[in-house]
Structure 1
Amino acid sequence: MFALHKRRIKRKPRTSKEFIIALTLIVLAICIALTASLMSNRGASQAKPKAVIIDGLLHYPNETFVKEATSLLNSTGFEVDYIGGEKVTVDLYRRLPSLGYRIIILRVHCGPLVETLPNGTIVPGEDAILFTAEAYNPNKYRIYQRGQLARAVITGRPNELYFAVPPWFFDECAEGRFDDSIVILDSCYGFYSTSMAEAFIRRGAKVFIGWDGEVQAKHTDYAVLVLLKYLLIDRLTVDQAVKKVMDEVGPDPYHHSVMLFYPSSAGDYRLERLKR
């Protein structure tokens, strides 16, 4: 009968050299992870704030305005996108709050919302609508055609119908939120009432700037360039900048409309606070 003897295996004690190597590898891994995290945060913090020029005035192009506005924005640290022509769609307005723009220049038609009765009588409403450059199609956007969209016609072009969005479109259909954005409506009737401005503010915009009536394209384009200069270069408050524009450029010489901003509490807001 054989007795089985367990053989004891002697483990070599871990040397101090092995311990130091293991500890070094752990520390190195932690350093790499921290460095990657810091670089990621640094990259995010150094990302340029974004601005956009949305240009839907198909019949009133102004390349000079676009170039000068872009130059002003670029020179003060903004990355600028240009969205023009037929890219100005219902879907663009739907996604706009989520796109991260800190300055939004809406060079699009805007006009009073009216209701046409069965007998042909036109009844003016209290709200304004923002035009797209997207031709109206009754079979498109059916999900939104229960009061969230409107048909729009440009004065003098009765056969050209476009989709347009009323203020409540941003409440009911848009996605995301504006990030304390400054919204400049480079067009007519931004303050036909305060409803459009209020819709943007409810969605997270900081201030809405526009005109209280009809305005000529060349007049508003020039006024907006002056406004950008006062906001970006001179670092004036919103209230100071708008007043200076009215002093220097003045109301529209033909329609006598004036530039306004909303809400009044944003009057002391300086654009430099938007910079990351």
Structure 2
Amino acid sequence: MFALHKRRIKRKPRTSKEFIIALTLIVLAICIALTASLMSNRGASQAKPKAVIIDGLLHYPNETFVKEATSLLNSTGFEVDYIGGEKVTVDLYRRLPSLGYRIIILRVHCGPLVETLPNGTIVPGEDAILFTAEAYSPNKYRIYQRGQLARAVITGRPNELYFAVPPWFFDECAEGRFDDSIVILDSCYGFYSTSMAEAFIRRGAKVFIGWDGEVQAKHTDYAVLVLLKYLLIDRLTVDQAVKKVMDEVGPDPYHHSVMLFYPSSAGDYRLERLKR
């Protein structure tokens, strides 16, 4: 005899609509997140490099220089910020390495650091200081230790006192690091010694360009515009550009100071490498 068995048919479990909807939403969310991430990375990679003109050269305004320098930088792919007047402060110097500027033009007063003895004798030091446009007050910035700031006076204006920063301010008080920045000191005494240049290099700058003595404002402004042209338009190396400036513009006609750069190892550096 044969026994008859009923074949049991296994039914597939039903997939609920709720599960399908939830799965669809999860996949959609993942796609949106991936797309946003890709767009963000693409935007970051296309961000323009930044340059800044810090204009604290008191009593020597030059709007033509600012416009022409900005135009040169813009035309070669840089986004340019302008910081002038009372915004040139101790706090600006403190934050400067962290602000992400690839080209920094310091159109500020710079002079030798001197010590005045109790009997009034002035003893010149070996370092230079960068002026702010911030009026000096003995009760301000007490958070800084003695010697981390200086009191500065502009030649011919003995009653105008301003805060200034010595080279070691960038070592001891600044925050962040320069990102292989090109620093151009559009003013006097950048190379009174190499201490100011060395301070910027220690903080991450690639090269420091300035003058070895006193220079007239109109002369240095013109020389820096020519320098930017050679660096940005003609794409010369730092060494080639500085030499061409000295050939074309020449030393200061009155003070005979010359343009230099530091360190010498940066002589073959080209500014086009910054545009990444």
TM-score past 0.5 threshold: yes
Deviation at 1:90, TM superposition (A): 0.5
Q: Secondary structure at the match of 1:3?
A: coil
Change (3 A) 1:21 1:254: same
Q: Deviations over 1:99-153 (max 9, x none)?
A: 1100000000000000111111111100000000111000000112511000101
Query: Does structure 1 retain, via aligned residues, the 8 Å contact 2:58–2:133?
Result: yes
Alignment of structure 1 residues 56-95 onto 2, 5 Å: 56-95=56-95
Change (3 A) 1:115 1:23: same
Q: Could you tell me which residue of structure 1 aligns to residue 118 of structure 2?
A: 118
- Equivalent pairs, count: 276
Deviation at 1:29, TM superposition (A): 2.9
Q: Which moved more, 1:246-255 or 1:142-151?
A: 142-151
Deviation at 1:33, TM superposition (A): 1.6
Change (3 A) 1:21 1:153: same
Task: Give the fraction of aligned pairs with identical amino acids, expressed as a percent.
Answer: 100
Q: Secondary structure at the match of 2:98?
A: helix
| Unaligned 5+ runs, structure 1 | none
* 1:239 is aligned to 2:233: no
**TM-score, normalization: structure 2?**
0.93
Change (3 A) 1:38 1:4: farther
Q: Secondary structure at the match of 2:215?
A: coil
Query: Does structure 1 retain, via aligned residues, the 8 Å contact 2:149–2:169?
Result: yes
Change (3 A) 1:24 1:215: same
Query: Does structure 1 retain, via aligned residues, the 8 Å contact 2:182–2:208?
Result: yes
Q: Could you tell me which residue of structure 1 aligns to residue 159 of structure 2?
A: 159
Q: Distance in 1 between matches of 2:5 and 2:108?
A: 93
Query: Does structure 1 retain, via aligned residues, the 8 Å contact 2:58–2:109?
Result: no
Deviation at 1:27, TM superposition (A): 3.7
Q: Distance in 2 between matches of 1:129 and 1:160?
A: 16
Q: Secondary structure at the match of 1:143?
A: coil
Q: Deviations over 1:59-92 (max 9, x none)?
A: 0000000000000011111111111111111011
| Unaligned 5+ runs, structure 2 | none
Q: Distance in 1 between matches of 2:40 and 2:60?
A: 43
Q: Could you tell me which residue of structure 2 aligns to residue 177 of structure 1?
A: 177
Q: Which moved more, 1:72-81 or 1:11-20?
A: 11-20
Change (3 A) 1:261 1:19: same
Q: Distance in 2 between matches of 1:119 and 1:266?
A: 44
Deviation at 1:10, TM superposition (A): 11
Q: Which moved more, 1:15-24 or 1:47-56?
A: 15-24
Deviation at 1:58, TM superposition (A): 1.8
Deviation at 1:3, TM superposition (A): 33
Q: Deviations over 1:140-184 (max 9, x none)?
A: 001125110001011100111110000000000001111110000
Q: Distance in 1 between matches of 2:244 and 2:253?
A: 17
Query: Does structure 1 retain, via aligned residues, the 8 Å contact 2:87–2:133?
Result: yes
**TM-score, normalization: structure 1?**
0.93
Q: Which moved more, 1:27-36 or 1:205-214?
A: 27-36
Q: Distance in 2 between matches of 1:66 and 1:166?
A: 26
Change (3 A) 1:251 1:5: farther
Change (3 A) 1:25 1:137: same
How big is the alpha-carbon RMSD for the aligned residues of Structure 1 and Structure 2?
4.9
Q: Distance in 2 between matches of 1:163 and 1:53?
A: 19
Change (3 A) 1:103 1:7: farther
Change (3 A) 1:16 1:182: same
Change (3 A) 1:2 1:25: farther
